[in-house]
């Protein structure tokens, strides 16, 4: 019989296995459990092979819970929704007052708040902890976003400080805040990730379809970009992807991948929350729409036939471009659009924090995203510094450093979007980011006309620029009296 372990983990798909091995490798003996017992045996075997790590398998929930030292801490890594409730029900039958449950999945934040209240009634502590970094991050150091009971966090702080990715500013984990804040922050992180991936895909499309770059050239370009301001995990893996040859045929694998993007829901939740809170997130919304449109593969194949028959080709014109100049312009456009995506995500987090009273620290969130997670990037350090300089910064775009960079890059950004439009290449992320920038930087927008229309047909009233108060005009009567 093994001595009581420090922590338990239930749910041994790849993420669960890898996180369990990471915890064990950092010196914390861990008990593991899965409904399908073969996964338990598989994890224990991996632990032996990867250095005789202190991982102890349990084939039933009772022995699993009883194998953990008190007060017990159990991490769940199961599919969001009903499976989480089912796992809680199974485990809580054997847990005692003061024990702690941590949900490490991509859960809807309100479910976490509901469960925290239900567990509190039973004397149990509860945390919703976002885990970012994919399989590799879970094994070697993820970015962790725990929110909920602070007492629960203190129970695992010694573990997560060692298990999280380590960067120059410390471990990529912090206590996020109360309630479902950890899950909410992870959700928005994923929304920013959607935007980031879409913008990179558009940069690829312009370089390939207009610039006629080969996969070898694209690999070189992205490798070079990853040495400068765009240094990030997503740019790094994109360079890797362009270099992989097809193992089942001729050519490169990227060209054989079906152009149909999957999704699990966090991007959609992000856009829905933005709408609820009246926060503009056009880059993230454009990335979501692009995934929806990519799913219409069969319709797009038929549409292409219809328009080609009418003389509209895949790309509208073979424009002669200076490759070197195009590559530099696209680099600048990608960087500027990425700043917009991060600015939108941060503004959404702030709006929710104000609504819920979470008191989230945006600079600290940027810091814990510097390592381990999918959106880790060198410029997150500068985003942290921007919010450190001014915690009440209304928008990342008006930080002195970032505003200077936007001004320097806007001409290249406009050239890329215009080139894409002229060539019939859709760049919804870059275009909507540019529209966001242009709308935000203009003192006056055509919203005055929209409000006048609303007052015309619905008597919604309007304010004036030259005097205080609320006004209504009988537009119809005035217009008709002049006829």
Task: Pick the closest to residue 74 from 112, 33, 106, 43 (CA basis).
Answer: 33
| Tokens representing residue 168 in the block | 């120059």
DSSP state of 10: E
Mean pLDDT confidence for 330-335: 98
Binned at pLDDT 50, 70 and 90, residue 293 comes out as: very high
Q: Is 31 helix (H, G, I), strand (E, B) or coil?
A: strand
Choice between 311 and 21, residue whose per-residue pLDDT is larger: 21
The annotation status of 189 as a binding-site residue, yes or no, is: yes
| Tokens representing residue 185 in the block | 């922050």
Q: CATH for 446-481?
A: 1.20.5.320
Asked if residues 286 and 293 have their Cβ atoms less than 8 Å apart, the reply is: no
Binned at pLDDT 50, 70 and 90, residue 483 comes out as: low
The annotation status of 36 as a binding-site residue, yes or no, is: yes
Binned at pLDDT 50, 70 and 90, residue 183 comes out as: very high
pLDDT digits (tens, 9 = 90+) for 93-110: 999 999 999 999 888 999
Q: Which residues are catalytic?
A: 186, 193
Instruction: List CB contacts of 299: < 8 A, sequence separation 6 or more.
Output: none
Q: Mean pLDDT for the chain? A: 94
| Tokens representing residue 41 in the block | 């045996």
Q: Is the pLDDT of residue 57 over 70?
A: yes
Q: Is the pLDDT of residue 354 over 60?
A: yes
Task: Pick the closest to residue 348 from 142, 173, 185 (CA basis).
Answer: 185
The annotation status of 271 as a binding-site residue, yes or no, is: no
Q: Is the pLDDT of residue 310 over 80?
A: yes
Q: CATH for 7-175?
A: 3.40.50.720
- pTM here is 0.92
Regarding beta strands 143-148 and 166-167, do their DSSP bridges make them parallel or antiparallel, or are they unpaired?
Answer: unpaired
How many other C-beta atoms can be found within 10 angstroms of the C-beta atom of residue 82?
A: 9
**CA distance linking residue 242 with residue 222, whole number of Å:** 9
Q: Is the pLDDT of residue 2 over 70?
A: no
pLDDT digits (tens, 9 = 90+) for 110-168: 999 999 999 999 999 999 999 998 899 999 999 999 999 999 999 999 999 999 999 98
Q: Is the pLDDT of residue 263 over 90?
A: no
**CA distance linking residue 444 with residue 14, whole number of Å:** 52
The pLDDT score that the predictor gives to residue 408 is 97
Instruction: List CB contacts of 294: < 8 A, sequence separation 6 or more.
Output: 259, 260, 261
Q: Is the pLDDT of residue 1 over 60?
A: no
The annotation status of 78 as a binding-site residue, yes or no, is: yes
DSSP state of 171: E
Return the bridge partners of 471, or none.
462
| Tokens representing residue 456 in the block | 């015309």
The pLDDT score that the predictor gives to residue 222 is 98
The annotation status of 183 as a binding-site residue, yes or no, is: no
The pLDDT score that the predictor gives to residue 315 is 83
The pLDDT score that the predictor gives to residue 182 is 95
Binned at pLDDT 50, 70 and 90, residue 265 comes out as: confident
Regarding beta strands 166-167 and 170-171, do their DSSP bridges make them parallel or antiparallel, or are they unpaired?
Answer: antiparallel
**CA distance linking residue 365 with residue 424, whole number of Å:** 38
Binned at pLDDT 50, 70 and 90, residue 3 comes out as: confident
The annotation status of 394 as a binding-site residue, yes or no, is: no
Q: Which residues of 12-72 form beta strands (DSSP E)?
A: 30-33, 55-58
pLDDT digits (tens, 9 = 90+) for 188-227: 999 999 999 999 999 999 999 999 999 999 999 999 999 9
Binned at pLDDT 50, 70 and 90, residue 317 comes out as: confident
Picking from 8-12, 56-60, 479-483, which range would have the lowest pLDDT averaged per residue?
Answer: 479-483
Q: 319 — phi, psi (to 5°)?
A: -85, 140
Regarding beta strands 7-10 and 73-76, do their DSSP bridges make them parallel or antiparallel, or are they unpaired?
Answer: parallel
**CA distance linking residue 54 with residue 48, whole number of Å:** 8
| Tokens representing residue 423 in the block | 């060539």
The annotation status of 34 as a binding-site residue, yes or no, is: yes
Asked if residues 389 and 399 have their Cβ atoms less than 8 Å apart, the reply is: yes
The annotation status of 414 as a binding-site residue, yes or no, is: no
DSSP state of 101: E
The annotation status of 371 as a binding-site residue, yes or no, is: no
Q: Is the pLDDT of residue 264 over 90?
A: no
Mean pLDDT confidence for 58-72: 95
Asked if residues 342 and 383 have their Cβ atoms less than 8 Å apart, the reply is: yes
**What kind of architecture, by CATH, is found in domain 186-441?**
Orthogonal Bundle (1.10)
Q: Which residues of 244-392 form beta strands (DSSP E)?
A: none
pLDDT digits (tens, 9 = 90+) for 437-467: 999 999 999 999 999 999 999 999 999 999 9
Largest CA distance in the chain: 95
How many other C-beta atoms can be found within 10 angstroms of the C-beta atom of residue 96?
A: 13
The annotation status of 148 as a binding-site residue, yes or no, is: no
| Tokens representing residue 53 in the block | 């790590």
CA atoms within 13 A on the CB side of 33: 24
**Domain residue extents for the chain:** 7-175, 186-441, 446-481
Domains 7-175 and 186-441 share a fold: no
Provide, rounded to the nearest whole percent, the portion of the chain with pLDDT above 70. Answer: 99
Task: Pick the closest to residue 263 from 204, 198, 203 (CA basis).
Answer: 198
The annotation status of 12 as a binding-site residue, yes or no, is: yes
């Amino acid at each position: 019989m093994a001595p009581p372990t420090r922590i338990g983990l239930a749910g041994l798909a790849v993420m669960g296995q890898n996180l369990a091995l990471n915890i064990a490798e950092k010196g914390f003996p861990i008990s593991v459990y899965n409904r399908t017992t073969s996964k338990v045996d598989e994890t224990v075997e991996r632990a032996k092979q990867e250095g005789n790590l202190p991982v102890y398998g349990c084939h039933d929930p009772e022995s699993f819970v009883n194998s953990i030292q008190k007060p017990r801490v159990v991490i769940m890594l199961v599919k969001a929704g009903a499976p989480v409730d089912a796992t809680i029900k199974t485990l809580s039958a054997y847990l005692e007052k003061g024990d702690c449950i941590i949900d490490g999945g991509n859960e809807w934040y309100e479910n976490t708040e509901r469960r925290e209240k239900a567990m509190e009634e039973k004397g149990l502590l509860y945390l919703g902890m976002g885990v970012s970094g994919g399989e590799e991050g879970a094994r070697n150091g993820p970015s962790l976003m725990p929110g909920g009971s602070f007492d629960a966090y203190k129970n695992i702080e010694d573990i997560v400080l060692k298990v999280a990715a380590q960067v120059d500013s410390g471990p990529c984990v912090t206590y996020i805040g109360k309630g479902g804040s950890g899950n909410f922050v992870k959700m928005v992180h994923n929304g920013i990730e959607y935007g980031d991936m879409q913008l990179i895909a558009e940069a690829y499309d312009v370089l390939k379809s207009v610039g006629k770059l080969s996969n070898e050239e694209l690999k070189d370009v992205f490798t070079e970009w990853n040495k400068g301001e765009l240094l990030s995990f997503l740019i790094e893996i994109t360079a890797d992807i362009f270099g992989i040859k097809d193992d089942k045929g001729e050519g490169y694998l990227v060209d054989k991948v079906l152009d149909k993007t999957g999704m699990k829901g966090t991007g959609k939740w992000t856009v829905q929350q933005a709408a609820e809170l009246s926060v503009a997130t056009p880059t993230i919304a454009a990335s979501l729409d692009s995934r929806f449109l990519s799913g219409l593969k069969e319709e797009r194949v038929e549409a292409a036939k219809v328009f080609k028959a009418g003389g509209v080709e895949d790309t509208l014109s073979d424009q002669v471009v200076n490759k070197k100049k195009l590559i530099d312009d696209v680099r600048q456009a990608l960087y500027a659009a990425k700043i917009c995506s991060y600015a939108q995500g941060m503004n959404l987090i702030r709006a929710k924090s104000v609504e819920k009273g979470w008191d989230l620290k945006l600079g600290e969130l940027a810091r814990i995203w510097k390592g381990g997670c999918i959106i880790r990037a060198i410029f997150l350090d500068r985003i942290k510094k921007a919010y450190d300089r001014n915690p009440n910064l209304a928008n990342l775009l008006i930080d002195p450093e970032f505003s200077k960079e936007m001004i320097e890059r806007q001409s290249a950004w406009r050239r890329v979007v215009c080139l894409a439009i002229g060539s019939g290449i859709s760049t919804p992320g870059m275009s909507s980011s540019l529209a966001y920038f242009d709308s935000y930087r203009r003192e006056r927008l055509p919203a005055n006309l929209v409000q006048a229309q609303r007052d015309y047909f619905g008597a919604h009233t309007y304010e004036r620029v030259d005097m205080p108060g609320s006004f209504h005009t009988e537009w119809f009567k005035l217009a008709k009296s002049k006829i």
